[in-house]
């Protein structure tokens, strides 16, 4: 799936938007340095506007993915391998979606930092946001909040994925998703990455017992949706999400913000908040849950280090 993240500082308010056709958009915002930053930069961004812009950018990016798929012009290439040794694919859908999302944001807020998984030297996208704010966002988010532009970082991961769904959330204001009413921990269903399901099996069973149900799946965004009350009944339900190897921040930032908005948690395997500043990778694994005692789950996990050994 494909996240885009916006960060104001390591802690604070999370803003998030997750839009269909395999495009995930996420905005992650904090407030620790807002007042200090305001003195150093008069440029500000309204979080409600940024959320609405993200929805529109994701829609435009999704249309490109759909168009390329329907025209059968994927032009698939291999751009490298994951740490698990699997090929990372790049299609024309990835690039076109990246261009639509990246330049719509940069043309609207040229002074905001935007990081994308894909890189492209094309600079001929002239798209300009029409400043329309969807009705559900207007209803849930009154007025928004202005924050310093130089405290925002945006992460984008356009991906030609097969899952189609729509979700957004702004911590403290609302979401069009909701948590399920019940979760089972005796034993739990744990969703994991398909690429290393065998490797994580022993880790999970040591923590929660050998009757634990392990659900391998693709897409970090899909795994987060499996913890919620799904818009799509085809999404299998899980009680927690565990990942024990290196993962890119653009893969997880969207789900992190959505869970936070719904009262859930996504942390490292040591129970620490994931820092969305700096390098693109998270090497500390992750545990995601909602409506359960998250720190109690952390306490049950076996010892683990960043080399993936436990």
* CATH number for the domain harbouring residue 153: 3.30.540.10
pLDDT score recorded for residue 40: 46
Stretch 269-288: mean pLDDT: 89
Q: Per the domain annotation, does 38 fall within a domain?
A: no
Residues 31 and 14: beta-carbon distance below 8 Å: no
Same domain? For 144 and 183 the reply is: no
Same domain? For 152 and 237 the reply is: no
Same domain? For 188 and 155 the reply is: no
Same domain? For 203 and 146 the reply is: no
Among residues 125, 159, 193, the one where a domain terminates is: 159
Q: Per the domain annotation, does 34 fall within a domain?
A: no
Same domain? For 57 and 109 the reply is: yes
Same domain? For 139 and 192 the reply is: no
Same domain? For 155 and 220 the reply is: no
Total structural domains within the chain: 2
Domain that holds residue 206: 178-300
Is residue 197 predicted with pLDDT exceeding 80?
Answer: no
**26: pLDDT confidence band, cut at 50, 70 and 90?**
very low
Q: Per the domain annotation, does 11 fall within a domain?
A: no
Cα–Cα distances in angstroms (integers) from residue 150 to residues 42, 122, 224, 283, in the given order: 10, 24, 29, 26
Distance, C-alpha 143 to centroid of its chain: 24
Over residues 165-178, the pLDDT tens digits come to 458 777 777 788 89
| Burial (0-12, 13-18, 19+ Cβ within 10 Å), 18 | buried
**238: pLDDT confidence band, cut at 50, 70 and 90?**
very high
* CATH number for the domain harbouring residue 234: 3.40.190.80
Q: Which among 169, 195, 180 is positioned nearest to 238, based on CA atoms?
A: 180
Q: Per the domain annotation, does 119 fall within a domain?
A: yes
Same domain? For 65 and 155 the reply is: yes
State the binding site for Mg(2+): 117, 157, 159-160, 251
Same domain? For 264 and 189 the reply is: yes
Q: Per the domain annotation, does 268 fall within a domain?
A: yes
Same domain? For 203 and 130 the reply is: no
Is residue 249 predicted with pLDDT exceeding 50?
Answer: yes
pLDDT score recorded for residue 29: 44
Stretch 223-239: mean pLDDT: 84
pLDDT score recorded for residue 120: 67
Same domain? For 117 and 208 the reply is: no
Same domain? For 155 and 185 the reply is: no
Q: Residue 157: how many CB atoms within 10 A of its CB?
A: 31
Over residues 98-142, the pLDDT tens digits come to 788 888 888 999 888 887 765 666 666 677 899 999 998 898 888
Over residues 29-86, the pLDDT tens digits come to 443 344 444 444 468 888 889 888 888 887 887 777 677 666 665 555 545 444 555 5
State the binding site: 117, 157, 159-160, 251
Q: Per the domain annotation, does 146 fall within a domain?
A: yes
- Is the previous residue joined to 190 through a cis bond, with omega within 30 degrees of 0? no
Q: Per the domain annotation, does 190 fall within a domain?
A: yes
Q: Per the domain annotation, does 3 fall within a domain?
A: no
Q: Which among 236, 239, 194 is positioned nearest to 212, based on CA atoms?
A: 239
**If phi over 0 gives left and psi between -120 and 50 gives alpha, with beta otherwise, what is residue 291?**
left
């Amino acid at each position: 799936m494909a996240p885009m993240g916006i960060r104001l500082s390591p802690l604070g308010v999370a803003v998030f938007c997750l839009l269909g056709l395999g495009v995930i958009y996420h905005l992650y915002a904090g407030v620790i340095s807002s007042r200090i930053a305001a003195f150093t930069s008069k440029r500000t961004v309204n979080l409600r506007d940024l959320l609405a812009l993200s929805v529109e950018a994701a829609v435009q990016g999704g249309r490109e993915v759909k168009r390329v798929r329907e025209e059968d012009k994927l032009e698939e290439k291999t751009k490298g391998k994951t740490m698990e040794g699997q090929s990372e694919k790049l299609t024309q859908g990835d690039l076109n979606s990246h261009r639509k999302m990246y330049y719509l944001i940069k043309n609207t807020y040229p002074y905001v930092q935007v990081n994308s998984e894909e890189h492209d030297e094309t600079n001929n996208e002239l798209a300009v946001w029409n400043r329309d704010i969807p009705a559900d966002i207007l209803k849930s988010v009154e007025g928004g909040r202005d924050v310093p532009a130089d405290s925002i970082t945006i992460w984008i991961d356009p991906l030609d994925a097969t899952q189609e769904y729509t979700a957004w959330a702004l911590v403290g204001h609302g979401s069009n998703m909701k948590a399920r009413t019940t979760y089972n921990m005796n034993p739990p269903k744990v969703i994991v990455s398909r690429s290393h399901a065998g490797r994580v099996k022993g880790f999970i069973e040591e923590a929660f017992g050998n009757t634990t149900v392990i659900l391998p799946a693709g897409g970090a965004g899909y795994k987060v949706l499996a913890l919620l009350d799904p818009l799509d009944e085809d999404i299998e339900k899980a009680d927690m999400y565990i990942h024990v190897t290196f993962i890119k921040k653009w893969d997880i930032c969207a789900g992190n913000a959505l869970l936070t908005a719904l009262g859930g948690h996504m942390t490292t395997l040591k129970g620490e908040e994931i820092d969305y500043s700096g390098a693109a990778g998270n090497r500390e694994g992750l545990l995601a849950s909602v409506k359960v005692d998250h720190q109690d789950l952390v306490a049950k996990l076996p010892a683990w280090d960043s080399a993936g050994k436990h």
